[in-house]
Every structure is written in structure tokens, then in C-alpha cells.
A = this chain, B = another copy of it.
């Protein structure tokens, strides 16, 4: 299962290079992960209320092309791996069918004091179910993305990095 969240690049997310700052993608990936957990039936705010935390212990992003202010980016999230105390999500950021970035985050399940604990049984099953349901290709594969909102035509001649 793959969840795609459309996000419009905010002015505050740009930097003086004239494109979205690279740290913004980390926030977008988190927003897509939050949406993913909501859709599989285990909203993160409910996990937190039950005493569970999923802090990021590893983060990787590869940037392929810049995102511009006002552009709508499609941020997709899916489960890559589930362990007894950890889970890995992977992401793709696309716009107009073009890959802008991809990455993953690894999370360790913790209690309120920051001690590693096993993933709650229900969460682990939901993630495993969501994982096995979709094994066909990378996240953000163009044909499967749900473009909920049209993004504005891009006329700038920005190159590919």
C-alpha cells in the first residue's frame, strides 16, 4: 500500500537558492508518513496517546531536481520493512510525473521515556499488511500516483542536478 499526499510548496520553505530548502523534504516525508499511518488505521496521535513513540533513527534523502514555490509536490509513503522493534518507510517526491527526490526513514519503537520497546502488535500487523499488499515497484511510480490537485505549469528552465 502506498499513500500519496499532495503538498503545495510554501514560500517559507524556499531559500535564497530560489527553490525549496532540502530540510523541507524531511518535513514533507513526515507529513506523508503521518497520512500513511492515518490511512492504515493507526493515526500517530493515537499511538502517542497510548504511550508509543516512533522517533527517526535514520534518515536518507536523495535529491534529483528542485521543487519551486507554489508547485504541488506528490509525496508518497510506503512501508519498506517491519521488524519487532523497528520499521522503515520509504518515500518519493514527484511533481508533474517527474521524480524530485526519494528517501527513507527508519524508526525505533519507544516508550515515553525513550526506551526501545516492541511495536504494538496491532501496529505491526497493520504495517506488515500494508507492506505485503504492494511489492510492485518503487514508491511514486508514475502510473500509480493519485494526483489530487493539478499543479501549476512550470516554465522555469531549471536543470536537473
Contact = CB atoms under 8 A, between A and B. Distances in A.
A136 interface: no
A10 B8 CA distance: 14
Interface string A62-80: 1110101110000000000
A18 interface: yes
Interface in A1-57: 8, 10-12, 14-19, 21-23, 26-27, 30-31, 34, 38, 43-45, 48, 53, 55-57
Interface residues of A, number: 51
Interface of A: 8, 10-12, 14-19, 21-23, 26-27, 30-31, 34, 38, 43-45, 48, 53, 55-64, 66, 68-70, 103, 108, 110, 113-116, 152, 157-161
